[in-house]
Amino acid sequence: MTRRFIIALATTLSFYRSNKLQGLFVLLGLVLGCGLYTAVAQINASARASYAEADKILGASSQLRISDRQQTGVSVDDYIKLRRSGFSTVYPVLEARLPTSEGALISFIATDLLALPIAPAAQETDVENPFRGSDWSRLTQPPYEMWVPAQIAKKIGVRDGDRVELPDGTRLPPASIRSQTQQNDRVFMDIGAALNVLGTDRLSYLAVGELDDNQQTLFQEQFGDRLALSRNTEAFDLSQLTQSLHTNLTALGLLSFIVGVFIVFNAVNFSLSARTKVFRVLDELGVPAPEVGLAILIETLIWSLTGALLGTLLAQPVSTALMPAVASTMQNIYGAHVSSVPLFNGELFLKALALASAGLAMTLMLPLMLIASEPAARATLGPIQVGRSSSRALAAVGTIMILAACAIYPFASSLIQGFGLLALILFAGIALLPAVIISVAAFGKAALGYSWLGRWAFADILSQLPHLRLALMALLLTLIANIGVTSLVGSFRIALTDWLETRLSADYYISDKALSSTDLIGQSWISAAHQRKVAEVRFSGRKAEVIGIDVTAPDFQQGSVIDAEPNAFARWINSVDTETPVFANEQVRYLAGVQVGDAVNLMTNLGPHAFRVIGFFHDYGNTKYAFHLPKERFDILYPRAEVQGWGIWVTDKDIYKAEVGLNKLGVGPADLISQNDVLLLSMSIFDRTFAITRALNALTLVVAGVAIFASLLSLYQLRRPEYALWRAIGMRWIEFFCVAGSPVILMTGVVMIISLPMGVALAWLLINKINVISFGWTMPMVLSASSIAFLFCLVLCLVFMAFLLASLGQRTAVSSALKQLAGE
Amino acid sequence: MFQLQNIDKAFRDRGEVIHVARNLTWELASGAKTALMGESGAGKTTIMNIIAGLDSVDKGTVTVNGIKLSSVSNREVSDYRRNHLGLIFQKFHLVPTLDVWDNAALQARLAGCFDAEAAESLLNRLEIQHLINHYPSQLSGGQQQRVAIARALMHRPKLVLADEPTGNLDEATSDKVIELLVDTATSVGSSLVVVTHSHKVASHLNECWHLASGTLTPSA
Ligand SMILES: Nc1ncnc2c1ncn2[C@@H]1O[C@H](COP(=O)(O)OP(=O)(O)OP(=O)(O)O)[C@@H](O)[C@H]1O
Ligand SMILES: [Mg+2]
């Protein structure tokens, strides 16, 4: 068997020597598909690893958290008292996010190394211990040291030993650059150093492992009046919140893999049908069919191994390029800290290999079945008839899918169901495509029947469709996804800008708490000054904020309220009802299931109190619940609440006058935030956050373009003799374009037309289902005609270029192609 | 009609040189109908391609219809093919998505000289006028070849080159098709070269040439 088999294998493989381009496309499809998928998988894996790491070292794994009942944070005194009372497993955590004098934002985390459950000195051999082997003692002694992850050091331009300066002139401890990723993208300091440098005496919270019942009772007795013990639900919330982003990324990764498979399918299909002769010859030479099958199998294995290997290699630069964007998404939307350095492991390679093999097996199945089962039927029927009847069946499936999606829509309430809906929409579009194209061809033929060229062009759609069908489907898939996701991001950007402009309508935000209203009254440069006060409570298992609002403040007005009871704003201001009227953010509505008119119970400084939700407001990106109360009412219920500072509206926007005035009042630059800067910063953060989606979108578009090009090329290779004949009887380029090129353009047009409503439906689902399910807020959908038009122009150019490139080869080699016609 | 003057044509295939034409000279008078015979691989198709301007010669000159092919642009050669040349192949190669009428009219339309009345009478003469709404897949081989003949003749070309036009047909159909081909070519005033392996087919034409080892000899 062996010699014969090797000859058989060599014979089947020799196809790719003479058809290098087809081989290239099999490889390209696999590499692009596997590469993008693996890159995304790698990003997800790294992010998850980051969560786990964060859990391991910095207290997120602590089951319990201790916080102050009245104020944010916990005082150092309380911490010391707790330790002295025998709560030896309690350790402090201080988290902060500060701007440097150069305008970069740094996240800090600090803890007491000696109090950590995995104290560095105690467990020198613990492999998991990030402090093992480090000279951690330098962290705890002046001038202290701060550990900066290498990727952050690079970002903010810090070198070993540098002392970063804060806007108020404070210098941070010397930096020590770390390659470890345990602290993710956060700068690590010892708690002593942090308190010192940041000039505070309050810790963010205290973390503690598990406390037994005795200890809990003891805690309640001794500290219960001031300190609250709570389950650490944040870790849970976080993984739930970020789940949707990861699912999103995975879906995009899979999408590019599917598009890659389309390319492979084209190439494999072509290579198999082009080799039917070779297989027949092998059969006649006495090579048994199983051996030919085995040869194909080995070929497949070679392809998937190379594809997976190169794909994994490709994934490295791609994920390295995308990871910082993901890290900033995590930081900005979810407040999760993720390392921006992607991890690699062998499991991912195996996954890519499995994926490549599965994809190849899938692409092999259909053509093999066709070749094996009914070569005769195919020859007589021709691909056109086969295409027509199968397109009808597909259209039926597509219609059923759309109906199913409509039926399921009201009931979809989990992320999986939401993504199921998305998949239904996407695949319904694909299934409907061939039937729509065939109808358009029939219609066009009837409408343009008087012109022979038009008749021919529309008729040629039917001969091209079977070859281009898959590539067009891939294109449709990417276009739908593209329009959907772009509209989502665009809508979000507009909604967020509008919202921020109201929310941050003050010109300055002053955090100086010493400033009193008497200081501000009578200043000619102030047109308005309003205070917000905040109390932290819990509602429905999550953190919630009750905010006291100046009813005349421009940053929360009647227009900000959505879906309110009649006359709600006036009732809210007067607070005349027995149940205190309150506005809640949308998160309360979608995540906690509260409706307008429902009563909610919240803790106040006077004890539990019943409120009546009379309306909602948008609160984009907030992971907490929020309730708005008029300030007068708030002051009664929360006398001990913390003042958030002043929002100042400047007369005639005279910034210069305002700065001089503020200076006179003794407000330093450290206590002053220009809202305009915050707005700009927020938008730049937003854009960076969605860079990942945009990048993946662009990449899938490129892959779809390659798919079109690949199938055009194999189509032209297949029809070479036919086209040669056309040229031989004197067809000019422009006529060739009309007959062979315009169908491609036309079909692309149909794809675009279908993609528009489907893409809008997708955007609608993303905004009103997925978004609500995962974040608890909605926004008005805004479609950007210009960006969709741009996308379509881009696709048309791409397809036209593919046509030009693929048809270029047609001009030459007419005579050799005609030899085939001459009967050879 | 055309003039091949001292042409040389050879293919190099892995060191081996195959001579298709060696100092070959061949002239065809206007209106002549000739058969071109020769063993498989002798170079008949190559010679036809050279006359059609689809292949070049290594040496010598090719003049067709008064045009010296080697000294004019690709565009002019293409115009010559479209306006003055009819091509017929062994496999009929009709456009499967067009009906008989559109297939037959194809080249005349490309040449911009389509005339519905003339087309009708041509299809009548070829006895396929009743099939004009059929598609190629619904026709027999003989019928398809007649459509191909109609396509090659409808624009009244000066020269028709037919490369084994009956190669795929049975003997009775062959006879009928070649008869019709010669008949219609005469009626539109075209010169005709038919490559064939069949003496029976060759007997329908006025003269017969034999190609072997790169040289042409008239045969009886
Ligand atoms: N492009 C090419 N490259 C190399 N050799 C070629 C090429 N085209 C033709 N040949 C060779 O030139 C010779 C003549 O070929 P041609 O097709 O003209 O023969 P033919 O007389 O038409 O044969 P048949 O009767 O089988 O059709 C053959 O030996 C062929 O192998
Ligand atoms: Mg030949």
Residue (of B52, B166, B150) closest to B106 by Cα position? B150
Q: Which helix (H) or strand (E) holds A69?
A: none
Choosing among B51, B93, B107, which should be mutated to test the A contact, i.e. which has the most A CBs within 10 A? B93
Contact A673, A507 (CB under 8 A): no
Residue (of A769, A330, A775, A765) closest to A588 by Cα position? A775
Half-sphere CA count of B133, side-chain side, radius 13 A:
1
Half-sphere CA count of A195, side-chain side, radius 13 A:
17
Within A150-212, residue ranges assigned H as helices are 150-156, 191-198
pLDDT tens track for A218-234:
888 888 777 777 665 44
User: What would the mean pLDDT of A513-525 be, rounded to a whole number?
Assistant: 73
Answer whether residue A324 shows pLDDT above 70.
yes
Residue (of A772, A331, A766, A415) closest to A585 by Cα position? A772
Residue B18: CB within 6 Å of ligand 1? yes
A819 and chain B: CB distance < 8 Å anywhere?
yes
Q: What are phi and psi of A109, to 5 degrees?
A: -140, 140
pLDDT tens track for A154-198:
877 888 888 888 777 778 888 888 765 455 677 888 888 888 777
d(C-alpha A457, C-alpha A441), whole Å: 9
pLDDT tens track for A288-308:
777 777 887 888 888 888 888
Three-state secondary structure call for residue B55: coil
User: Is the omega angle on the peptide bond into residue A143 within 30 degrees of 0, that is, cis?
Assistant: yes
Contact A319, A17 (CB under 8 A): no
Provide DSSP, A327-389: HHHIIIII-----SS----HHHHHHHHHHHHHHHHHHHHHHHHHHHH-HHHHHHHHHHHHHHH
- Answer whether A462 sits within 8 Å of B97, measured CB to CB: yes
- Answer whether B98 sits within 8 Å of A727, measured CB to CB: no
Residue (of A400, A387, A465, A449) closest to A427 by Cα position? A400
- Give the relative orientation of helices B100-111 and B116-125 as an angle to the nearest 10 degrees: 130
Bigger pLDDT: A370 vs A82: A82
Q: Which of B36, B44, B161 for mutating ligand 1's site (highest number of atoms within 8 Å of CB)?
A: B44
Beta bridge partners of residue A530, listed in sequence order: A647
Would you mind telling me the total number of residues written for chain A in this entry?
824
A728 and chain B: CB distance < 8 Å anywhere?
yes
Q: What are phi and psi of A364, to 5 degrees?
A: -75, -35
End-to-end, the C-alpha distance of chain B in Å comes to: 22
What ligand is nearest to the CA atom of residue B36?
1
- Answer whether B97 sits within 8 Å of A819, measured CB to CB: no
pLDDT tens track for A106-134:
777 888 776 665 544 444 333 344 555 55
Locate A187 and state its tokens.
């700068």
Contact B154, B162 (CB under 8 A): no
Residue (of A737, A727, A729, A738) closest to A451 by Cα position? A738
Query: What type of residue sits at position A539?
Result: F
What is the average pLDDT value for chain A, to the nearest integer?
Answer: 76
pLDDT tens track for A379-391:
444 444 555 677 7
Ligand 1 centroid to residue A592 C-alpha, Å: 81
Confidence of residue A92 (pLDDT cuts 50, 70, 90): confident
Q: Which helix (H) or strand (E) holds A691?
A: helix A691-718
Answer whether residue A562 shows pLDDT above 60.
yes
d(C-alpha B85, C-alpha A773), whole Å: 70
Three-state secondary structure call for residue A549: strand
Residue A741: C-alpha distances to residues A96, A715, A792, A799, A800 (Å): 60, 12, 17, 10, 8
- Answer whether A729 sits within 8 Å of B79, measured CB to CB: no
Tally Cβ neighbours within 10 Å of residue A774.
21
Choosing among B46, B80, B97, B151, which should be mutated to test the A contact, i.e. which has the most A CBs within 10 A? B97
Locate B103 and state its tokens.
């297939």
d(C-alpha A112, C-alpha A90), whole Å: 10
Bigger pLDDT: B87 vs A239: B87
Q: Which helix (H) or strand (E) holds A94?
A: strand A91-99
Confidence (pLDDT) at A235 = 45
Interface of B with A in 110-149 (CB under 8 A): 110-111, 137
Atom of ligand 1 nearest to the CA of B49: 18
Locate A146 and state its tokens.
């701060």
Confidence (pLDDT) at A704 = 76
Query: What type of residue sits at position A361?
Result: A
Contact A647, A549 (CB under 8 A): no
Contact B125, B187 (CB under 8 A): yes
- Answer whether B96 sits within 8 Å of A821, measured CB to CB: no
Three-state secondary structure call for residue A531: strand
A790 Cα to chain B: minimum distance (Å): 35
Q: Which of B11, B49, B56, B215 for mutating ligand 1's site (highest number of atoms within 8 Å of CB)?
A: B11
Confidence (pLDDT) at A640 = 80
User: What would the mean pLDDT of A469-498 be, rounded to a whole number?
Assistant: 82
B207 and chain A: CB distance < 8 Å anywhere?
no
Contacts with B209 (C-beta within 8 Å, 6 or more apart), sequence order: B26, B34, B35, B36, B37, B216, B217, B218, B219
Confidence of residue A491 (pLDDT cuts 50, 70, 90): confident
Nearest to A730 among B55, B78, B89 (CB): B78
Contacts with A249 (C-beta within 8 Å, 6 or more apart), sequence order: A40, A43, A44, A326, A692, A696
Residue B11: CB within 6 Å of ligand 1? yes
Beta bridge partners of residue A106, listed in sequence order: A98
Contacts with A272 (C-beta within 8 Å, 6 or more apart), sequence order: A364, A367, A368, A371
pLDDT tens track for B121-150:
889 888 889 999 999 989 988 899 889 999
Locate A180 and state its tokens.
């470890």
d(C-alpha A595, C-alpha A392), whole Å: 46
**ipTM of the complex model:** 0.88
Answer whether residue A606 shows pLDDT above 70.
yes
Beta bridge partners of residue A583, listed in sequence order: A615, A628
Contact A300, A364 (CB under 8 A): yes
Nearest to B163 among A456, A463, A822 (CB): A822
Provide DSSP, A641-685: PEEEEEEEEEGGG-HHHHHHHHHHTT--GGGEEEHHHHHHHHHHH
Strands A625-630 and A580-585: antiparallel
